[in-house]
Amino acid sequence: MDFSILFVQILTGLAYGMLLFMIAAGLSIIFGIMNVINLAHGTFFMLGAYVAFTFINQHAGFWVALLLSVLAVAVMGVLVERFLLSRMYGKTFEQILLTFGLMYIFTDLVKWIWGSSPQTLPVPPMLDFSISAGVVQFPAYRLFVVAVGCIVAFFLWYFETRTRIGAIVRAGVDDREMLGALGINVKLVFTGVFTFGAALAGVSGTLGGPILGLYNGMDADILIFSLVIVVIGGLGTWRGSFIGAILIGMIETLGQIWFPSLSMVLVFALMVGVLLVKPSGLFGKGVEA
């Protein structure tokens, strides 16, 4: 294989990994600080893409559609957390049933509103060109997605290490009960964390629309990869999600080229290997009961 072709495939895997990172980081933080197994997290990814699709069809433009779709998904996150999940804290089995049910409800709602035909989002005109990489061309939009993922990672690092809210989130991951003992409004923290995670999923869904397309069942597909990344990276850590997403993005992309019938096997083999060597994940601190 020509080196330039391999380079392009690595960039493609990196772009896919950045999309996975943005959704898995939110899922991991929600899991780590709230101890909530949110099986509806892929729904926020799907809603972000379909809401943006609607605004673009109304001639709103890609960037306006991105902003509005993320706001819509964030509002949905607030409503789900405040009116549904908040009643289920400490009830793991009920949380699983609730979020599992929400996933099916929203899947049917999407099918009812937007139909079952696959759709796609257009690439924004300013990024609708390719960059030469030897004998092949690489879409500039995918480089943009890689850049956005790196910016999100930097933002999360700064947020975690340089801000008071980041310190509260870190404390919540280590010891949730301590937050209440310090007089911190735990309900507000939970709502903020859940909304932030939902918004990140919305960003990923909208940015992923031109690459992955829109189709029924996209929420379940992305959720499976997100859960694998959380297991590999560890709970409550964006660093683990970042490394895990890059690994899964690379394995899935390169595996589809070299071992198309084994790409999923390789993904889960990596997860099993990490669990055997470090059950809490590469950057995790273990699960609090």
For residue range 190-210, list pLDDT tens digits in order. Answer: 888 899 999 999 999 999 999
Cα–Cα distance list, 122 to 57, 70, 201, 214, 216 (Å): 10, 17, 19, 11, 18
- Average pLDDT value for the chain: 87
Q: What is the DSSP letter of 213?
A: -
- With 0-12 / 13-18 / 19 or more C-beta atoms within 10 angstroms meaning exposed / middle / buried, residue 177 is exposed
pLDDT tens digits, residue range 63-83? 999 999 999 999 999 999 999
With contact defined as beta carbons under 8 Å apart, do 274 and 231 qualify? Answer: yes
Residues 6+ apart with CB under 8 A from 56: 62, 65, 121, 122
> What's the pLDDT score for residue 146?
94
With contact defined as beta carbons under 8 Å apart, do 10 and 16 qualify? Answer: no
Q: Which two tokens stand for residue 289?
A: 């009961």
> What's the pLDDT score for residue 238?
84
With contact defined as beta carbons under 8 Å apart, do 195 and 81 qualify? Answer: yes
> What's the pLDDT score for residue 261?
80
With contact defined as beta carbons under 8 Å apart, do 145 and 66 qualify? Answer: no
Domain-by-domain residue ranges, the chain? 3-218
> What's the pLDDT score for residue 173?
64
Q: Under DSSP, is residue 84 helix (H, G, I), strand (E, B) or coil?
A: coil
> What's the pLDDT score for residue 288?
46
Q: How far, in Å, CA of 195 to CA of 163, rounded?
A: 18
Q: What is the pTM of this model?
A: 0.90
With contact defined as beta carbons under 8 Å apart, do 116 and 108 qualify? Answer: no
Q: Under DSSP, is residue 139 helix (H, G, I), strand (E, B) or coil?
A: strand
> What's the pLDDT score for residue 160?
80
Strands (DSSP E) along the chain, which ranges? 130-133, 136-139
Query: In the chain, which stretches have pLDDT less than 50?
Result: 287-289
- With 0-12 / 13-18 / 19 or more C-beta atoms within 10 angstroms meaning exposed / middle / buried, residue 25 is buried
